[in-house]
Amino acid sequence: MRSFIDAPQVAEMVMFQCHVCGSTEAKETVVDEVFHVDHKHLLVEHIPATVCERCGEKIFSRETTERIRRMIHGETKSVKSVSMDVFAYA
């Protein structure tokens, strides 16, 4: 009887350098982001992103950016509404 040993999964190597701080360390995760469109604040949840480990800068793929653009410009209905507190710094 032959046994098969599963080869370890190799993560896809992606070259990354943060355009803000220059770090080469990042993680793939999901984030929430508020966008400002036509004097409105729109929250998009659960966005796949590459996030810089040093400064927290979020980078979205072209496909993700295009999907968000279509969503917030009316091609998709929002799934819920939330109220937001507003503070004036000055």
User: Residue with structure tokens 């046994």?
Assistant: 3
CATH number, position 40: 3.10.20.860
Q: For residue 15, tell me if it sits in a domain.
A: no
Count of domains observed in the chain: 1
Helix (H) or strand (E) holding 60, with range, is none
Q: Give tens-digit pLDDT for 26-50.
A: 999 999 999 999 999 999 999 999 9
Q: pTM score, two decimals?
A: 0.75
Distance of CA 55 to the CA centre of its chain: 14
**Domain membership of residue 58 as a residue range:** 26-75
Torsion angle, CA of 8/17/37/80, rounded to 10 degrees? 20
Q: For residue 51, tell me if it sits in a domain.
A: yes
Q: What confidence category does residue 13 fall into, taking pLDDT thresholds of 50, 70 and 90?
A: low
Helices (runs of H) and strands (runs of E) counted in the chain: 1, 3
